[in-house]
Chains A and B, each alone.
Chain A
Amino acid sequence: MIGVLKSLTATMGTFMRKPVTIQYPTEHRKVPERERAFPILLWDFNIDEPFCTGCHACERACPVECMTVTMRDNPLFAEGKSKRRKIIDEFYIDYGRCMRCNICVEVCNFDAIAMNNTWSGHELSTVDRKELILDLDQLLDLSKRKDLQAWDPAAETRASTEGRPQPPIAQVGATEDAPAAGEPLTVAERSAEEQDSPPTP
């Protein structure tokens, strides 16, 4: 009998507390910067072209083979506006297959792919599976609109090792041929920088 009454005190106690749920579709929880939704491609505002050169690194590393990449010669390179010899031609990601393991981001040598860290990466329900296969324009759309949240994994590492000799950025598969000018910029830093400087004609 005592235990039964004790149980009732538990439920009556929680009755007095504030509800912890939120009304989801109208109210969104803030997602952290390192949220991993689905991979998207990034846009180079300096040159007005994607960062991606179509090098197939992500396609090869993808455990579920959800990517299809083709490459073409970069016309802007011929004009001398871009340093990229090759540029992405077509890029398809099947979000229905993707298992969001982040490996494509880690293997990318050009920081051209990132995980969508906004709510738009989560509310993707469609009536047809075919609509989950995204093409190049759709993949670049978010980056073009500069909606991504800023996140720099290297900065976290720097903060934790302050006052110690700086270790190399040693993510698995991290790039050896990173840009010479120190740390590679993160997605949003880059786009923020782009915003300040006028886009090249």
Chain B
Amino acid sequence: MALVLWGLFGVDMNVWLDAFLRLQLIVIVMTVTVMALIYVERKFVGRIQMRLGPMRTGPYGTLQSVADAVKLLTKEDLRPATADFWLFELAPYVTFVPVFMTLLALPFMEDWGVRDLQLGLFYIVAVSGVTVIGYIMAGWASDNKYALLGAVRSAAQLISYEIPLILAVLAVSMVAGSLNLNDIILQQDTIPNALLQPLPFLILLTATLAELSRRPFDIPIGESEVVGGPWVEYSGIRWSIIFALTEYAGLWGMAVLGSLVFLGGWEFPFGTSGFWGDFDFLYQMALVFAKSSFLILTMMLISATFPRLRIDQLMAFCWKILLPFGFLQIVINGIVLMYLDSEVTRDIALFATSGALLVAMAYVTYLATRQPSREARVAAMVAARSIQ
């Protein structure tokens, strides 16, 4: 095992064998991560709600995910009699494979990913857009009105939010001057992109929540409206592929992407020249882990707090607020990068403009959601008609 790992971390090897071993490692790590994330989310949300969370299986319920997995795998895999066989059976895989494919281009450590792609960022946003096809397939094939409604909602939502997501990473790649993730990370050795580009960072967080169909953007699968949406008819292993693997692997992948692109990945704040020579990868791993954990916990906190938006409000937020400000950010970035040569002034200008845009976006959102003040409400209460 040690030999295999060593091979993965640098020793020359047959290129196919190397790729295969790396893929295997990713699969194992992903499975473990997904199980851990399910446990963490249940515990974290439990504490937010002043519950204990899972406590029975294993010490402090740590084996809860294992128990869930066993239960889901042994459950009957139901399919409605009127369902479209192929579409229904394949939809979970069509949903999951793009999520898995995004993991292949992520550099988790210095020079360590499955593949270092020159157009890594482009690849990731391109591939993750395929997920929506699985949603529509499932929704259509289930022969269920809730599923159909959920599929139509997810089509609208996922495709719409793809655009702000692309704009956000595009703004960063403009600053970095590259679409290669390694280059983007290397460029953040002193200042992470989240500081230079706070608005795209926020857009990315929002769009990620929407892309993953997490609360408050879980409109396609909203339990209280469409009862699970496209996945209403699924059970057993197929449902676990959708729910566990796709949702949490997607969460993990997007959090790692966010931590690499915006929070400096393994580069910030210690730089590439490590303290431990050959064992640099340990602290690099720890850095990426810490940053992505921060993002994941933030997203979990957000999902545990907010009510679900309605589909038209969601679309309005995307098209009327996120999208214009995303475009503005790109235009301003272009001007700043074109006319400012000095690195310091450039950084300051980038931070100032993006920060200003962020404030402007917050203000526009505030204007759009403005409501009568408490005093006005009290006045209305006092002025109410009495029956006498």
- Please list the residues of chain A having a beta carbon within 8 angstroms of any beta carbon in chain B: 1-4, 7-8, 10-12, 14-15, 17-21, 23
- Chain A residues touching B, majority SS: helix
Tell me whether B46 and A12 are in contact (CB under 8 A): no
Least CB distance from A96 to B in Å reads: 29
Q: CA–CA, A14 to B305, complex, Å?
A: 11
Of A11, A14, A17, most buried by chain B (CB within 10 Å of CB) is: A11
Residues of chain B lying within 8 A (CB to CB) of residue A4: 306
B316 within 8 A of A: no
Kindly report which residue of chain B lies nearest to residue A22, judged by CB atoms: B52
B47 and A15 form a contact (CB under 8 A): yes
Residues in B with CB closer than 8 Å to A2 are 366
Residue of A nearest to B47 (CB): A15
Q: Does B55 make an interface contact (CB < 8 A)? A: yes
Top 4 nearest A-B pairs (CB, nearest first) are: A11-B305, A1-B362, A15-B48, A19-B52
Instruction: Assess the B305–A8 pair: CB atoms within 8 A.
Output: yes
* Max count, chain B CB within 10 A of own CB: residue among A12, A14, A15: A15
Q: A1-B366, A2-B366, A23-B55 are in contact. Are A17 and B305 (CB under 8 A)?
A: no
Pick the most buried of B304, B305, B365, B366: most chain A CB atoms within 10 A of its CB.
B305
A174 to B51, CA, bound (A): 45
- B49-60 vs A: 1/0 string, CB under 8 Å? 111100110000
A2 to chain B, nearest CB (A): 7
Whether a CB of chain A sits under 8 angstroms from the CB of B337 is: no
Q: Which of A14, A18, A19, A20 has the most CB of B within 10 A?
A: A19
Instruction: Look across to chain A and name the residue whose beta carbon is closest to the beta carbon of B364.
Output: A1
Taking a contact as CB atoms under 8 Å apart, the answer to whether A18 and B50 are in contact is yes
B328 at the interface (CB under 8 A from A): no
**CA A2 to CA B371, docked complex, whole Å:** 12
Among A1, A3, A8, A14, contact of B49 (Cβ-Cβ < 8 Å): A14
Query: Given the complex, which residues of B lie within 8 Å of A14, measured CB to CB?
Result: 48-50
Query: Would you call A11 and B51 a contact (CB within 8 A)?
Result: no
Q: Which residue from A1, A8, A18, A21 sits with its C-beta under 8 Å from B301? A: A8
Which chain A positions have C-beta within 8 A of B362? 1
* Cross-chain contact A11 with B52 (CB below 8 angstroms): no
* A30 CB to nearest chain B CB (Å): 19
CB–CB B48/A11 < 8 A: yes
- For window 299-348 of chain B, which residues contact chain A by CB distance below 8 Å? 301-302, 304-306
Contacting residues of chain B (237-286) with chain A, CB-CB under 8 angstroms:
none
Who on chain B is nearest to A13 by CB? B48
Q: Point out the residues of chain B lying under 8 angstroms from A15, CB to CB.
A: 44, 47-48
